Amino acid sequence: MTKHPWLPNSPEDLKKTMLEEIGVHDPLELYRDVPREVLLKRSLNVGLGRSLSEIEVKRYVEKLLSKNKVFMDPPPFMGGGVCVHHVPSAIKWIISRSEFLTAYTPYQAEISQGLLQTLFEYQSLVADLLEMDVVNASMYDGSTSVAEAFLMAVRVKHKNRIVVPETMNPQHLEVARTWVQGKNISIEEVKVDRETGFIDLEDLKNKLSKQDVAGVYMEYPSFLGVIDENISSVGEIAHDYDSLFIVGFEPLSLGILEPPGKIGADIAVGEGQPLGIGLNYGGPYLGIFATRWDRRLVRQMPGRLIGITEDIEGNRAFAMILQSREQHIRRERATSNITTNEALMAIAAAVYLSLLGREGLVKLAEHIALKAAYTARKLAEITGVKAPALNSKHFKEFSASFPVPYNGLHRYLLEHGVLGGYYIGDKFSWLGESALFCITEVHSLDDIRILIDLIEEYVTRHGGDKQ
């Protein structure tokens, strides 16, 4: 069988010739920066010993996939920042069009007008949703939007501290801490009230008193689903101490909550997954990033901006603007290392918002909020269960604490085909044995009853077991 000349399974004589050409005798010399003790000491066991036909490959892959558990009936109840939502069929068909599906960064504006217009529409729709002035297109996901906002605040304010609530999304916080490593930037946590989950305003003021805080970050709703009634006060305090106010939002909640622009946000960031994007095994997702109109902020925004202009004949035209922030222009002085854009996911979000409309968004948000509140109330009727675990209003997600170890309860739910809440007792120990549940438009009342009945059955049977 003839081997491909540029694949790792090339014949030995070809590999030898290539190594001789670059003056290397031992292939391990190409990996001399890798510690010898971590190098594999045997040949890789790949493939099945022979070439397979398409039919054989398909059957083999399907056999592997059959080991996965797919939760469809009922859908997952797991919270944690991304949740199961309905994705209209129209979205999948539209983003499958070849001009969208295969398109990359539209550097050549003259041949990318359709894609550029679609991204311009995305920016416009999201700006309207957030009541912010400038939206980019776009970040990898919510966590990278948050990290970029922190770096941007430091560049604009020339200060090196960021303060966040102690209930911040742990995954987003981990990404942010990774991105600021080596930049002499510290991220400090502010206490929250243990009863309500609201941020402690006095502790916030103490953290800001040193006058070296570049940005104050708040999630609205919080990672625990809490709608903090002090959100506007947080923004005012941040501005009093000459810090930027960064708001992390959940897009569907804006059908019933004040948008970031109305509560004084300088920068708004969020995860666009609820806007017609499936769970997709963890990605691709969509990081939304917006600012109010301020030349300093807009010049320091990461990613791409699409603008509208006129060509030499006076016709409407679209183009990438403010490219002085971009890697292909600024190189090492670019404002971020974001490269591959999330244009396809941004298009999906634009289609979703267009289909839903302003009134549809309000109805959907109300539907989700009521259904989540109903689920929490039914859980709270179970002896020993506190739901929500925090005494406040919630949207979509809420924490619940249990009188039994949650890991055992979760295994019981899995055995009965139910994916329960996301365990948070290790991250927020003051909530006890707790989990984060997410209820959306895809959960029927029958789905919720199944969850409640199983939890009640387990808690009743094991309520005295604290091990």
Strand 434-438 vs strand 397-401: parallel, antiparallel, or unpaired? antiparallel
Query: Are residue 306 and residue 431 in the same domain, yes or no?
Result: no
| pLDDT at residue number 1 | 47
Query: Are residue 322 and residue 430 in the same domain, yes or no?
Result: no
Query: Are residue 109 and residue 148 in the same domain, yes or no?
Result: yes
Instruction: Point out the least confidently predicted range of 74-78, 94-98, 248-252, 273-277.
Output: 94-98
In a domain, 313, yes or no: yes
Query: Are residue 118 and residue 215 in the same domain, yes or no?
Result: yes
In a domain, 33, yes or no: no
Element of type H or E holding 73: none
Question: Max CA-CA distance within the chain?
Answer: 79
In a domain, 290, yes or no: yes
pLDDT confidence band for 467 (50 / 70 / 90): very low
Q: At residue 38, does pLDDT exceed 80?
A: yes
Cis ω on the peptide bond leading into residue 284 (within 30° of 0)? yes
| pLDDT at residue number 401 | 97
CATH of the domain at 326: 3.40.640.10
Q: At residue 139, does pLDDT exceed 70?
A: yes
In a domain, 12, yes or no: no
Of 352, 371, 386, the one marking the end of a domain is: 352
What span, in angstroms and rounded, lies between the C-alpha atoms of 132 and 259? 8
Instruction: Point out the least confidently predicted range of 8-17, 342-351, 365-374, 419-428.
Output: 8-17
Q: How confident is the model over 283-325, as pLDDT tens digits?
A: 899 999 999 999 999 999 988 889 999 988 999 999 988 876 6
Residues listed for the chain: 467
How many CB atoms sit inside 10 A of residue 116's CB?
Answer: 24
Element of type H or E holding 415: helix 406-415
Instruction: Point out the least confidently predicted range of 10-24, 60-74, 405-419.
Output: 10-24
| pLDDT at residue number 466 | 46
Number of domains in the chain: 2
Query: Are residue 237 and residue 320 in the same domain, yes or no?
Result: yes
CATH of the domain at 444: 3.90.1150.10
Q: How confident is the model over 172-216, as pLDDT tens digits?
A: 999 999 999 989 999 999 999 999 999 999 999 999 988 899 999
What is the average pLDDT across 49-57? 86
In a domain, 81, yes or no: no
What residues pair up with 399 in beta bridges, in sequence order? 436
Tokens found for residue 144: 């990278």
Query: Are residue 391 and residue 343 in the same domain, yes or no?
Result: no
Helix, strand, coil tally for the chain in percent (to 5): 45, 15, 40
Q: At residue 93, does pLDDT exceed 90?
A: yes
Query: Are residue 251 and residue 378 in the same domain, yes or no?
Result: no
Of 352, 386, 414, the one marking the end of a domain is: 352
Query: Are residue 264 and residue 324 in the same domain, yes or no?
Result: yes
Q: At residue 379, does pLDDT exceed 90?
A: yes
pLDDT confidence band for 101 (50 / 70 / 90): confident
The distance in angstroms from the start CA to the end CA of the chain is 60
Q: Do 10 and 4 contact (CB within 8 A), yes or no?
A: yes
Q: At residue 45, does pLDDT exceed 90?
A: no
What is the average pLDDT across 73-77? 95
Instruction: Enumerate long-range contacts of 377-386, CB under 8 Å, 24 or more apart.
Output: 378/448, 378/452, 379/437, 379/452, 379/455, 382/452, 382/455, 382/456, 382/459, 382/460, 383/459, 383/460, 383/463, 384/459, 384/463, 385/455, 385/459
Query: Are residue 364 and residue 333 in the same domain, yes or no?
Result: no
In a domain, 304, yes or no: yes
Amino acid type, 162: I
Tokens found for residue 312: 């030499």
Instruction: Point out the least confidently predicted range of 154-158, 337-341, 372-376.
Output: 337-341
In a domain, 141, yes or no: yes
Q: How confident is the model over 223-266, as pLDDT tens digits?
A: 999 999 999 999 999 999 999 999 999 999 999 999 999 999 99
Q: At residue 339, does pLDDT exceed 90?
A: no
| pLDDT at residue number 7 | 62
Query: Are residue 311 and residue 366 in the same domain, yes or no?
Result: no
Sign of CA dihedral 140, 145, 148, 152: positive
Query: Are residue 257 and residue 373 in the same domain, yes or no?
Result: no
| pLDDT at residue number 82 | 93
Sign of CA dihedral 319, 325, 330, 332: negative
Q: List C-alpha distances in Å: 202 to 190, 193, 229, 237, 425.
A: 9, 11, 15, 10, 26
User: What is the domain extent for residue 284?
Assistant: 89-352
Query: Are residue 325 and residue 375 in the same domain, yes or no?
Result: no
Of 352, 374, 405, the one marking the end of a domain is: 352
What span, in angstroms and rounded, lies between the C-alpha atoms of 88 and 25? 57
In a domain, 409, yes or no: yes
| pLDDT at residue number 332 | 76
How many CB atoms sit inside 10 A of residue 166's CB?
Answer: 17
What span, in angstroms and rounded, lies between the C-alpha atoms of 363 and 389? 26
